[in-house]
């Protein structure tokens, strides 16, 4: 039974009440009968007038019929077209026993005709005035764009929708709305219907408020929803929950570190989220969402996956002045402190050793489950070369070293089989080679050097050249270098002992005492 042409009628008292349908599906009828029996005392008498809104319970759905019966109250039964309850994919979104809210579009022959919008009527202009007065939604189609907005046809009338009123979000492209059908509210009717202004955004906001109220009633539960990524920002994503938006912060997308939302999600992606909270900010409701709250916390089984002293492979995810963060399991990161990066040299910044994105092998030093922290070491994957260096590097003896760097303060050499480095000061180089020191001491030259001083605790070796008498005072360029390094590292004075400057000073004091 379809109602292709429904006329508006004056509100009048019904002379006879329609009997409830007895031809509906037996299973649905029985279940609804039980529901009605339970709810009979809770029905409220409603004002059933054309243009008004009523709430009822679906009493029967017959697959062979295009009409669905709705019990409004014990005395009134309404009929709504099946098409009104289909989603965008043509799937029926209701079943017997569901409560729905609809508009009374007509009372005809003792029957109450319902609809979810006002587009069913054929008396277009009168209907538009009625829809405006009662703030009822009407169906319209966007047929084109013009300066400042869109051209929309509603009940055969051309209307104007400002671009700011077509959606609650910022409109980046008008083209995506052309040809689509939406529900609108009538904002203004002038000049006998020649100037009609409609708004979709106002209706969307009204519907969103109702949905938020429903969510707030369920927020105490673990409320999991399906949504679609509507917009992306570096710091998060706006998720369309079906008529209202929630915000998913980048930190709530995954247990793994994500720098930008676009690295993890794309516009249009389907997501499953948990509602964390609904709060009022600047008189607007804000819904906070989480994807990772739907997933299992990887820390819940951390001891089953990892153990102290074991070695793992991981990816460098972030660098800080104090160390590097490495993801060793999905959603599980550990910290390599700067002091755990190298045996051979002092590391002033993690970028001296690793870069974001590098795959590294690390040794797990400690797991702090309470604070969700893991301490890692890069240098402990290999044996400490200074253990061997203390045996091989004897002060006063000579060894062979390869120049790996030439700086303004001197040459850095890798010494023999130890893999440790030592400093050959610039003053010594110039005294031995004169102005040709660059030619004689540039990488990858091999030099015969003397071990002048070794400090294994601070991992420093000071070198000299055979038959060269070292200066009583270190050269100015080297002193400037030390001062710069000290200001950059900003270490405690106790930690600064053992630098090359300290080694030089100690040797000079020994000579003076001697």
pLDDT band at 494 (very low <50, low <70, confident <90, very high): very low
Residue 172 carries which DSSP code?
A: S
* Residue 3 pLDDT > 80: no
Please list the residues that pair with 453 across neighbouring strands. Answer: 462
**Weakest-pLDDT range from 14-23, 233-242, 429-438, 461-470:** 14-23
Both structure tokens of 6: 């429904």
pLDDT at 220: 67
**pLDDT bracket for residue 336 (50, 70, 90):** very high
Q: Is the peptide bond before 278 cis (omega within 30 degrees of 0)?
A: no
Statement: residue 326 has pLDDT above 50:
yes
- CA atoms within 13 Å, Cβ hemisphere of 32: 23
For residues 406 and 421, the answer to whether their CB atoms sit within 8 Å is no
Asked if residues 155 and 117 have their Cβ atoms less than 8 Å apart, the reply is no
Which pLDDT belongs to residue 16?
A: 39
Q: Which two tokens stand for residue 10?
A: 């004056």
Number of Cβ atoms within 10 Å of the Cβ of 250: 21
**pLDDT at residue 295 above 80?**
yes
* Residue 483: exposure state from Cβ atoms within 10 A (0-12, 13-18, ≥19): exposed
DSSP notation for 11-37: ----SSPPPPPSSS-HHHHHHHHHHHH
Lowest mean pLDDT among 203-212, 220-229, 472-481: 472-481
Q: Collapse the DSSP code of 130 into the 3-class scheme (helix H, G, I; strand E, B; otherwise coil) and give the result.
A: helix
Least confident of 71-75, 146-150, 159-163, 373-377: 71-75
The residues near 90 (Cβ < 8 Å, ≥ 6 apart) are none
Section 1-14 average pLDDT? 37
The span from the CA of 142 to the CA of 160, in Å, is 9
Residues facing residue 68 across a β-bridge: 61, 80
Residue 311 has pLDDT above 70, yes or no: yes
Q: What pLDDT, on the 0 to 100 scale, is given for residue 200?
A: 93
Lowest average pLDDT, out of 10-19, 139-148, 183-192, 198-207, goes to: 10-19
pLDDT score at 197: 94
pTM of structure: 0.46
C-alpha angle 491-504-475 in degrees, rounded to nearest 5: 100
Report the range of poorest mean pLDDT among 9-13, 103-107, 119-123, 241-245: 9-13
Task: Let me know: does 265 contact 256? Beta carbons within 8 Å.
Answer: no
Query: pLDDT by residue (tens digit) across 127-153?
Result: 888 888 888 888 899 999 888 899 999
What sign has the CA pseudo-torsion 241, 160, 180, 237? negative
* pLDDT greater than 50 at residue 348: yes
Q: How far from the centroid of its chain's Cα atoms is residue 27's Cα?
A: 46
- Average model confidence (pLDDT) across the chain: 78
CA gap 331, 254 in Å, rounded: 7
Q: Is 259 helix (H, G, I), strand (E, B) or coil?
A: coil
> How does pLDDT run across 278-287, given as a tens digit for each residue?
887 777 778 8
Strand partners, 279: 286
**Using 50, 70 and 90 to split pLDDT, how confident is the model at 163?**
very high
Domains, in order of start, for the chain = 26-115 (2.40.50.140), 124-204 (2.40.50.140), 219-294 (2.40.50.140), 306-381 (2.40.50.140), 385-490+497-513 (2.40.50.140)
User: What pLDDT score was predicted for residue 384?
Assistant: 65
Q: Evaluate whether 252 touches 292 at the Cβ level (below 8 Å).
A: yes
Helix boundaries (H) for 425-496: 426-433, 437-440, 476-489, 493-496
User: Residue 508 contacts by C-beta under 8 Å, 6 or more apart in sequence?
Assistant: 472, 473
Beta strands in 390-459 (DSSP E): 398-407, 410-415, 421-425, 446-455
- pLDDT tens-digit series, residues 406-453: 988 899 988 877 778 888 998 889 989 998 999 999 998 999 999 888
Q: What is the pLDDT of residue 420?
A: 82
CA neighbor of 507 nearest in space, from 409, 413, 428: 428
- CA distance readout (Å), 508 to 313, 381, 422, 502: 46, 38, 18, 10
CA distance 223 to 167: 26
Q: Which two tokens stand for residue 350?
A: 């993690």
Instruction: Inform me whether the pLDDT recorded for 329 exceeds 80.
Output: yes
> Is the previous residue joined to 444 through a cis bond, with omega within 30 degrees of 0?
yes
Question: What is the token pair recorded at 219?
Answer: 């927020």
DSSP code of residue 165 = G
> What is the sign of the dihedral through the CA atoms of 226, 229, 234 and 235?
negative
The more confidently predicted of residues 158 and 495 is 158
DSSP 8-state class, residue 9:
-
Instruction: Note the Cα 333 to chain centre separation in Å.
Output: 18
**What's the N-to-C CA distance of the chain in angstroms?**
117
Question: pLDDT category, 94, cuts 50, 70, 90?
Answer: confident
**Rg, C-alpha atoms of the chain:** 39
Three-class secondary structure assignment of 129-149? HHHHHHCCCEEEEEEEEECCE
pLDDT at 471: 64
Please write down the HEC assignment for all residues of 337-376. EHHHCCCCCCCCCHHHCCCCCCEEEEEEEEEECCCCEEEE
Q: At 44, list the tokens.
A: 């409220």
User: Which pLDDT band holds residue 337 (cuts at 50, 70, 90)?
Assistant: very high
Q: In this structure, what token pair is assigned to residue 453?
A: 């001083």
The residue ranges of DSSP E strands in 21-110, in sequence order, are 53-61, 67-73, 76-81, 99-108
H or E segment and range at residue 57? strand 53-61
The pLDDT tens digits for 369-400 are: 888 899 999 887 766 677 677 777 888 888 89
Residues across the chain: 514
């Amino acid at each position: 039974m379809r109602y292709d042409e429904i006329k508006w009628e004056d509100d009048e008292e019904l002379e006879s009440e329609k009997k409830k349908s007895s031809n509906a599906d037996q299973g649905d009828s029985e279940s609804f009968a039980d529901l009605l029996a339970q709810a009979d005392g809770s029905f409220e008498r409603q004002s059933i007038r054309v243009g008004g809104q009523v709430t009822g319970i679906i009493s029967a759905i017959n697959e062979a019929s295009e009409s669905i019966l709705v019990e409004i109250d014990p005395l009134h039964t309404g009929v709504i077209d099946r098409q009104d309850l289909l989603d965008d994919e043509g799937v029926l979104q209701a079943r017997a026993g569901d409560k729905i809210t609809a508009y009374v579009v007509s009372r005809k022959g003792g029957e109450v005709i319902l609809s979810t919008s006002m587009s069913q009527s054929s008396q277009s202009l009168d209907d538009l005035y009625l829809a405006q007065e009662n703030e009822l939604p009407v169906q319209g189609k966007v047929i084109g764009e013009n300066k400042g907005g869109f051209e929309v046809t509603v009940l055969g009338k051309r209307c104007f929708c400002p671009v700011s009123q077509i959606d609650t979000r910022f409109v980046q492209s008008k083209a995506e709305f052309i040809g689509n059908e939406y529900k609108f509210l009538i904002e203004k009717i002038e000049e006998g219907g020649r100037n009609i202004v409609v708004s979709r955004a106002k209706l969307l906001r009204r519907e969103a408020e109702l949905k938020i109220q429903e969510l707030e009633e369920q927020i105490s539960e673990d409320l999991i929803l399906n949504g679609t990524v509507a917009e992306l920002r570096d710091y998060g994503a706006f998720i369309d929950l079906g008529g209202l938006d929630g915000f998913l912060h980048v930190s709530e997308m995954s247990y793994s570190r994500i720098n930008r939302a676009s690295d993890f999600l794309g516009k249009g992606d389907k997501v499953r989220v948990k509602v964390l909270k609904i709060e009022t900010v600047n008189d607007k409701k804000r819904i906070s969402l989480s994807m990772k709250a739907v997933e299992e916390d990887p820390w819940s089984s951390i001891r089953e996956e990892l153990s102290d002293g074991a070695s793992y492979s991981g990816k460098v995810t972030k660098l800080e002045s104090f160390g590097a963060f490495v993801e060793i399991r999905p959603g599980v990161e550990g910290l390599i402190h700067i002091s755990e990066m190298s045996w051979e040299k002092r590391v002033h910044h993690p970028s001296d050793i690793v870069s974001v994105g590098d795959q590294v092998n690390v040794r797990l030093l400690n797991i702090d489950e309470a604070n969700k922290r893991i301490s890692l070491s890069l240098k402990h994957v290999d044996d400490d070369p200074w253990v061997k260096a203390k045996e091989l590097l004897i002060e006063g003896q000579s060894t062979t070293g390869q120049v790996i760097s030439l700086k303004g303060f001197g040459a850095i050499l890798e010494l023999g089989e130890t893999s440790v480095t030592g400093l050959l000061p610039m003053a010594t180089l110039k005294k031995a080679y004169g102005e040709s020191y660059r030619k004689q001491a540039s990488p990858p030259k091999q030099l015969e050097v003397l071990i002048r001083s070794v400090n294994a605790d601070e991992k420093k070796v000071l070198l000299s050249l055979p038959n060269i008498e070292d200066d009583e005072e270190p050269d100015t360029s080297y002193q400037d270098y030390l001062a710069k390094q000290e200001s950059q590292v900003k270490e405690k004075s106790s930690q600064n002992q053992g630098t090359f400057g300290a080694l030089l000073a100690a040797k000079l004091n020994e000579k003076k005492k001697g």
